[in-house]
Amino acid sequence: MTTPDSFQTWSSAHQARFENVLRRLLPQPDIAPQRLHDAMRYSVLDGGKRVRPLLAFAAGELVGADIARVDIAATAVELIHAYSLVHDDMPCMDNDVLRRGRPTCHVEYDEATALLVGDSLQSLAFQLLAEHTLNNDAALQLDMVKLLASASGSRGMAGGQAIDLDSVGKQLSLPELEFMHIHKTGALIRAAVLLGAQCGSDKGRGVALDEAQLGRLHHFGKCAGLAFQVVDDVLDSEADTATLGKTAGKDAKQDKPTYVTLLGVQAAKKMAAELHRDALDALSGFGAGARRLRELADFIVLRKF
Amino acid sequence: MTTPDSFQTWSSAHQARFENVLRRLLPQPDIAPQRLHDAMRYSVLDGGKRVRPLLAFAAGELVGADIARVDIAATAVELIHAYSLVHDDMPCMDNDVLRRGRPTCHVEYDEATALLVGDSLQSLAFQLLAEHTLNNDAALQLDMVKLLASASGSRGMAGGQAIDLDSVGKQLSLPELEFMHIHKTGALIRAAVLLGAQCGSDKGRGVALDEAQLGRLHHFGKCAGLAFQVVDDVLDSEADTATLGKTAGKDAKQDKPTYVTLLGVQAAKKMAAELHRDALDALSGFGAGARRLRELADFIVLRKF
């Protein structure tokens, strides 16, 4: 329902506002090197559900964080996500031509440019996290840089992609598949939640979370991230390319293990429902402030695209 | 001359010690994902002149910085450099098969792994800069993260590579070629000098540099970086592949503009000598503490490989 207070209204307003934040923070297209900057904007703007930024905004609301600070943290996470898609789509990885209903970066530009776009988006993410004040305590802000870096690297997202590459044609066990996705998708989703919350943990500003509360947010992020992937696999097996805006049925065709190929559709859906419940349980102590996080958990599991 | 105090002794000792630092700070090869970690180590260890780390150590000596801190800063810069080489060698960029006398990463492993190696090395650089204490003032350390990120991104190294790509087959002017190299090679060399110096700028520890002194180090880094590239072009036109440890004469063959193709060998050598003098001039106010920086300027211009 689209009431002034509904999730639909909240998420649409944040998505629209965040698009302008991205337009402002990405290098302007008239600055040299123009083709690279143009390709960076092409790869980030006007696309995607912005699930990670929305999670950061929802976590920021939980702690009463300054939204201008969360904008920066959300942008950093989204730039890491966007760079991973650009590199993932390249011929040496998934070799995909369609993303968010448009030609992928290396198709629209060229492979070398796509490589540099991804590299530059990653650098920009860390530049933004370092050059804006996100927390009155600079040492805590350094922790935020460390969090995003470790979520992105060889023991986070990029490591998950490496495991994914190695898994083609193999029969993975459920724990192995889970290990892969906790890295490939989960690490960055968890980072989005925690970075949003860490913008608000200043003394004297907003609500400071204690270790136990951060631990519960961590668990929420883990469950939500895994649920996101399970639902992705279900949608990928059921939807068509037009609805997804990306190539459907790709993983099964590439002989990659998915929750659907491993468990079947029904058991995968049951797993998503269990992760959904676990995610909501993790938020149970937070009260009304966690409303948008709860709604995002609902959205992640119930979405149709 | 190899006396106990000579540049040769100093640089060899730092190179050997730094190799162990890298071995310790890179992900261990027995940690999952093992193939990725193995490829990261292959791409960084046992290779290169470590010019950027040596510049960081020399700048650290100038300010009396704790060498354990400079080790981290030097590693971060070297990881950014190493990632750029891995991506640069890929088929969609320079398509090179030889680097530091060994098969390039995508030849030894595969293209997808090389892509992820570069991505992961970049993440690791920022993780290291954020997770170790490099300066007692955390806000100054955030400035160091920002410095490395902007030196790496679309308005630094990666931007210079994009301009390089666009320049193939074009007749560049000398200012255009300089603009490209100030980004492609210069930004990271300058960052190495400044990051080394910033490890020592704590109150009460070492010598704090004032704005004017940092400005002179900045200028030193710019001149040294440009000199490095001019000498690279001269060596590339004169040396053979065995001496260089990488494919010689590549730029000219790829119809890329170089200082040698633009100016001729003699004028390029003259330009290197002028940049050498400018670099030394920038250090004139620093006294004996800048000895190793001076020697590195000499090495950069007089090296034969």
Residue B118 CA: distances (Å) to CA of A115, A118, A119, B42: 10, 11, 8, 12
d(CA B235, CA B11): 21
Answer whether residue A2 is part of any domain: no
Which residue, among A164, A166, A176, has the nearest Cα to A262 in the 3D structure? A176
Strand B98-99 to A102-103 pairing: unpaired
Percentage of residues of chain A with pLDDT beyond 70: 92
Tokens found for residue B123: 């993440």
Which residue, among B193, B173, B185, B277, has the nearest Cα to B226 in the 3D structure? B185
Q: Please, which pLDDT band fits residue A201 given cuts at 50, 70 and 90?
A: low
Answer whether residue B148 is part of any domain: yes
Nearest CA in chain B to A93: B112
Answer whether residue B131 is part of any domain: yes
A41 Cα to chain B: minimum distance (Å) = 12
The pLDDT value recorded for residue A255 is 73
**Radius of gyration over alpha carbons of chain A, in Å?**
19
Residue B10 CA: distances (Å) to CA of A105, A228, B47, B61: 46, 53, 18, 12
Indicate if the pLDDT at residue A109 is higher than 80. yes
The model scores a pTM over 0.80 = yes
**Which residue range(s) make up the domain with B88?**
7-302
**pLDDT, mean over chain B:** 92
A110: contact with B, CB 8 A cutoff: yes
Indicate if the pLDDT at residue A244 is higher than 90. no
The pLDDT value recorded for residue A241 is 58
d(CA A66, CA A208): 13
The pLDDT value recorded for residue B208 is 75
B262 Cα to chain A: minimum distance (Å) = 22
A155: contact with B, CB 8 A cutoff: yes
The pLDDT value recorded for residue A1 is 57
Percentage of residues of chain A with pLDDT beyond 90: 81
Do A239 and A305 contact (CB within 8 A), yes or no?
A: yes
The pLDDT value recorded for residue A125 is 98
- The answer to whether the Cβ–Cβ distance between B142 and A138 falls below 8 Å is yes
Phi and psi torsions of A171, nearest 5°: -95, 105
- Whole-complex ipTM: 0.94
The predicted model gives A37-59 an average pLDDT of 96
DSSP A205: S
- The answer to whether the Cβ–Cβ distance between B138 and A143 falls below 8 Å is no
- The answer to whether the Cβ–Cβ distance between B37 and A127 falls below 8 Å is no
Total domain count, chain B: 1
d(CA B135, CA B142): 9
B46: contact with A, CB 8 A cutoff: no
The pLDDT value recorded for residue A168 is 84
DSSP character string of B108-166: HS-HHHHHHHHHHHHHHHHHHHHHS---SSHHHHHHHHHHHHHHHSTTTHHHHHHHHHH
Do B109 and B35 contact (CB within 8 A), yes or no?
A: yes
Answer whether residue B106 is part of any domain: yes
Nearest CA in chain B to A114: B92
Answer whether residue B1 is part of any domain: no
**Radius of gyration over alpha carbons of chain B, in Å?**
19
The predicted model gives A74-102 an average pLDDT of 96
The greatest distance separating any two alpha carbons of chain A, rounded to the nearest whole angstrom, comes to: 54
Three-state SS annotation for A84-142: HHHHHCCCCCCCCCEECCEECHHHHCCHHHHHHHHHHHHHHHHHHHHHCCCCCCHHHHH
- The answer to whether the Cβ–Cβ distance between A154 and B40 falls below 8 Å is yes
Tell me which amino acid residue A201 is: S
- The answer to whether the Cβ–Cβ distance between B142 and A143 falls below 8 Å is no
Chain A hits for B162, Cβ within 8 Å: 33, 35-36, 113, 116
- Write the Ramachandran bin of B255: left for phi over 0, alpha for psi from -120 to 50, otherwise beta: left
Residue pairs between chains A and B whose CB atoms are closer than 8 Å: 170
Indicate if the pLDDT at residue A266 is higher than 60. yes
- Nearest CB among A93, A142, A154 relative to B37 is that of A154
Indicate if the pLDDT at residue A165 is higher than 80. yes
The pLDDT value recorded for residue B301 is 94
Answer whether residue A60 is part of any domain: yes
- The answer to whether the Cβ–Cβ distance between B124 and A154 falls below 8 Å is yes
CATH number for the domain including A292?
1.10.600.10
Answer whether residue B65 is part of any domain: yes
Answer whether residue A67 is part of any domain: yes
Per-residue pLDDT of chain B (305 residues; tens, 9 = 90+): 578 899 999 999 999 999 999 999 999 999 999 999 999 999 999 888 999 999 999 999 999 999 999 999 999 999 999 999 999 999 999 999 999 899 999 999 999 999 999 999 999 999 999 999 999 999 999 999 999 999 999 999 999 999 999 988 888 899 999 999 999 999 999 999 999 999 986 655 567 788 899 999 999 999 999 999 999 999 988 876 556 566 656 666 667 889 999 999 999 999 999 999 999 999 999 999 999 999 999 999 998 87
Q: Please, which pLDDT band fits residue A208 given cuts at 50, 70 and 90?
A: confident
Chain A hits for B123, Cβ within 8 Å: 122, 149-150, 152-154, 156, 158
Q: How big, in percent rounded to 5, are the helix, strand and coil portions of chain A?
A: 70, 0, 25
Q: What is the dihedral of CA B287, B290, B295, B296, to 10 degrees?
A: -150
Phi and psi torsions of B136, nearest 5°: -65, -20
- The answer to whether the Cβ–Cβ distance between A153 and B111 falls below 8 Å is no
Q: Please, which pLDDT band fits residue A254 given cuts at 50, 70 and 90?
A: low
The predicted model gives A190-197 an average pLDDT of 97
